[in-house]
Structure formats: structure tokens, C-alpha cells
Amino acid sequence: MNLIGRALRLTVFVDDTDTWHHRPMFTEIVHRAHAAGLAGASVFHGVEGFGASSVVHTTRLLSMAGDLPVAVVIVDTAEKVRAFLPQLDDLLIEGLAVLDEVEVVHYRGRQEAP
């Protein structure tokens, strides 16, 4: 796949305790992105944050160590990312999804051995 130039970045913020049918929400998003043929998805686990509830969650306090922020980042062409958005509608009960226009300057997978 050749992904160079203008693209769209979808970032979905959820809590690490959010689930979809007994599966972590971030895992479900990654697997749906893979099944949709998107270029890639990565999950980043935060150590501190707050959202709509305005409650700060952090790894520094054991009593607040749950509900830590997780960001799922997906980059692909605008058409593919926008076509994927409806799949989030039935998943996101709480969370935030944002889109950013980006420029891809390098995208290359591992070369397969001959």
C-alpha cells in the first residue's frame, strides 16, 4: 500500500476499562479497523487524564488507577477513514473521536523475505 501525502488521522479516546461484549473497547476498534482494510492502528495508554466527567485519573494514586485514558490512532486516506466512522457509532457510549488532516511523509511496511 502506498500512503504518501494528504491523509486523515482519527484519534479515539476511551477509558482502559471500557468494554464491548467483554472485550476491551480499544481492541474492538483496532480489529474493526483491520477488518476495514485501513492502513494501520495503534493504541497508546495514558498515565493521567480527565474527560467529560472532570475527574482526574492517574497512575500515581492507587485508588484512582482505573479508567486511565487510551488513545486509538488510525491514519489512512480521508475516504477510508470517513467510511470507517459509522462503525464507531454503535461502539462509543462514552469517549471522544477527533479527526485531523495530516501529511504522510513516510509509510512503508516490512519487506518480506524472498
As a residue count, the chain comes to: 114
pLDDT in tens, 51-106: 766 666 666 655 555 678 899 999 999 999 999 999 998 886 778 899 999 999 98
C-alpha cell at 109: 511496511
5-104: CATH, from 3.20.20.20, 3.40.50.2300, 3.10.450.50, 3.30.70.120: 3.30.70.120
The pTM of the full predicted model, rounded to 2 decimals, is 0.82
- Grid look-up 472485550 returns 23
| N-term to C-term CA, the chain | 18
The secondary structure element, H or E, covering residue 43 is strand 41-45
Counting residues of the chain whose pLDDT is more than 70, the rounded percentage is 80
pLDDT in tens, 7-27: 999 999 998 888 999 999 999
Query: Quick count: other Cβ atoms within 10 Å of Cβ 105?
Result: 7
Q: Which candidate, 28, 25, 4, 13, places its Cα nearest to that of 76?
A: 4
The secondary structure element, H or E, covering residue 8 is strand 5-15
| Extents of the domains making up the chain | 5-104
Give Cα separations from 109 to 11, 87, 93 (angstroms).
21, 26, 34
Is-contact 105 4, C-beta < 8 A? yes
C-alpha cell at 71: 488513545
